[in-house]
Amino acid sequence: MSNSYAHMPFDSAGITGAVSIAPVWQQAAGQLLSWLVLISLLVFHGLGMAADASPENSDIGKPFASVWRIRGDVLATARQGPVRHLKVGETVYVGESVRAAPDSEAVLKTADAGIVAVRPGAEFMADRFAAEGKSTDRQILNLITGSLRIISGWIGQLNRQEHRVVTSTATIGIRGTDHEPYVLPDAMANATYRQGTYDKVNRGSTSMDANGGSVAIESGRVGFARDPKLAAPKSRALMTILLPVLLSKVPDFYVAGAFDKELDQYSENAEVISQKQLGTLTGVKATGAQKIAPVSVADKTAVVPEDIPVKAIVGCPPMTIGEVWLNRFDSAIARKDIKTILGLFAPEIVAKATVRSGDHMMTLEFTRAEMVQSTLGSIASLKEYQQRRVSLEAALAEGETEATCKQINVKSISIEQGVMNGKPYRFEALEYYLLEQRDGEWLAVTAQTTQR
């Protein structure tokens, strides 16, 4: 979560004072700047969010699931056909939109012995489905809004790559799973829970891919991918990074459904049930539950330095002040020291980042709290992280003198590299800070970064 930012021209020729090149290597588990420079490559890099349904989709119209449990009013609507009020025992077909009223829900059982529980107010469509006991079996759901609880059947074992949930902001893959994807609409979003895609894993694990990044979600955890449409500066109250992240706790909007106790019992035996049903279909006797390989997570072995003490600064040397501030900042990020990070930025700061999006540039805005929360949440997806500052420039701000020593300008070029989602990345960013002395402490009152 490094630095905050919007593009602000900052020519070295426009700075008076000492200028020096100061290489400083830092190896850390994560760096606050990551969320900013990573955005530059990831924005619109390929969202992977298009629905798989198309006019040539041969699955359209085929049976997808039967209604196992229902409460209230749940509707099924074909692309060209009447609206059906679903009842127990009825069939839902591929290509039909299924929508539950705000006080209604249903449990659908798929042909591979899987479960799709439709939560109140949810809407989804089965875009692809085939359960023939072959390696080409598939289940691709398009979740439009609200939440589902999905317990995978044998398709999740035969063809995991074709067992996924697609939303407008993310794609969720499974690895033998009981999970709950949730598309939180704008009407339910707030400063705590932003608009986008969430996924809570009850058993097994999932992977969430969004905006070129990926995060593995283990049992008991929740992943989140924000809606990239909220990147406009006017929406900064809902801002967060574009990369998918792991949340520190389960959001309050996840509540159990009317049939969840029954589904909990089914989930414990789902693999055995689906294997037995698959054996009946293919004539091949099941040999026992298939073990799912664990999903690797980000390395946590990086050496994290202790907090760098503020050394006594005599007089008003801009270079020394800037170097000490940046060292404390970088070190606090490496240690995930939220208290220190917050203490280095003024409470009212709005950080800005200007990044490339194809042939264009876009500017994002972040509050202080959003910077910290977003960055520390994204660090889990980074491996072999390295960061170095290849230059440092500092000078008294306009109108300041050594006697007043109230504000200084700091500019630094930072290079970051590492591995994310199994692929190497490298970014270079120009960072700018306006530091202001308040009660003997130097705080950033302006923070900007621009991808070079």
* Domain that residue 168 falls in: 63-282
Burial class (CB in 10 A: 0-12, 13-18, 19+), 388: middle
Residue 403 corresponds to which amino acid?
Answer: A
Q: Does residue 334 share a domain with residue 247?
A: no
pLDDT of residue 352: 84
- Do 158 and 222 share a structural domain? yes
Question: Residue 44's pLDDT is what?
Answer: 30
Q: Is residue 3 part of a domain?
A: no
Give domain status of residue 56, yes or no: no
Note whether 435 and 325 are within 8 A (CB): yes
C-beta atoms surrounding 284 within 10 Å: 11
67 Cα distance to chain centroid? 33
Please report the pLDDT score of residue 8 as a whole number: 34
Question: Along the 452 residues of the chain, how does pLDDT read in single tens digits?
Answer: 333 333 333 333 333 333 332 333 233 333 334 434 333 333 333 333 334 444 578 899 999 999 999 999 999 999 877 899 999 999 999 999 999 999 999 999 999 999 999 999 999 999 999 999 988 999 999 999 999 999 999 998 888 889 999 999 999 998 779 999 999 988 888 878 889 999 999 999 999 998 777 888 999 999 999 887 764 443 333 333 567 888 989 999 999 999 999 999 999 999 899 988 888 888 765 544 443 333 333 333 333 444 444 445 778 999 999 999 998 888 887 777 888 888 899 999 888 877 765 566 777 788 888 777 666 665 556 677 677 788 889 999 999 998 999 999 999 988 777 776 677 767 678 899 999 999 889 999 999 888 76
**246 within domain boundaries:** yes
* 187 and 273 together in one domain: yes
**Extended strands (E) in 161-300:** 163-166, 171-174, 178-184, 196-203, 205-210, 213-218, 222-226, 245-246
Q: Are 322 and 394 in contact (CB under 8 A)?
A: yes
Which pLDDT belongs to residue 437?
93
36 and 184, same domain (yes or no): no
The helices-and-strands tally (H runs, E runs) of the chain is 6, 25
Note whether 362 and 444 are same-domain residues.
Answer: yes
| Residue 223 domain flag | yes
Same domain, 447 and 311: yes
The pLDDT score that the predictor gives to residue 362 is 75
**In sequence order, what are the beta bridge partners of 57?**
none
CA 373/CA 194 separation, integer angstroms: 12
For residue 287, tell me if it sits in a domain.
no
Residues 239 and 97 in one domain: yes
Cβ contacts of 257 within 8 Å, gap of 6 or more: 105, 117, 119, 120, 149, 263
> Which residue, of 219, 251, 282, is where some domain finishes?
282
- Model confidence over 215-270: pLDDT tens digits? 889 999 999 998 877 644 433 333 335 678 889 899 999 999 999 999 999 999 99
Domain count, the chain: 2
- Residue 432 tokens read as 């700018």
Please give the distance of CA 103 from its chain centroid, rounded to a whole number: 29
Mark whether 210 and 70 lie in a shared domain.
yes
The Cα 371–Cα 368 span in angstroms is 5
Last residue in a domain, options 282, 314, 329: 282
Quickly tell me which residue has 């390395």 as its tokens: 299
Q: Is 107 in the same domain as 249?
A: yes
Does residue 411 form part of some domain? yes
Phi and psi (nearest 5°) for 19? -130, 130
73, part of any domain:
yes
Residue 102: the pLDDT is 93
Domain CATH number, residue 379: 3.10.450.50
- Give me the residue label for tokens 């829900």: 105
Q: Scan for tokens 């249903």, then name that residue.
A: 106
Q: Return the CATH number at 174.
A: 2.60.120.1440
**pLDDT recorded at residue 312:** 56
Distance CA 386, CA 397 (A): 31
Position 365 scores a pLDDT of: 81
- State the maximum Cα–Cα separation within the chain, in Å, rounded to a whole number: 88
384 and 436 housed in the same domain? yes
Per DSSP (E only), the strands in 204-292 are 205-210, 213-218, 222-226, 245-246
What's residue 356's pLDDT?
A: 62
Pairing of strands 97-100, 115-118: unpaired
Secondary structure (DSSP) of 117-138: EE-TT-EEEEEEEE-SSSTT-E
Same domain flag for 272 and 342: no
CA angle 13, 19, 24 (to 5 degrees): 130
Strands, E assignment, 227-345:
245-246
Q: Mark whether 160 and 111 lie in a shared domain.
A: yes
Q: Token pair of 221, please?
A: 């955890």
CB count within 10 Å of CB 47 equals: 19
Q: Would you say residue 261 lies in a domain?
A: yes
Task: Decide: residue 114, CB within 10 A, 0-12 exposed, 13-18 middle, 19+ buried.
Answer: buried
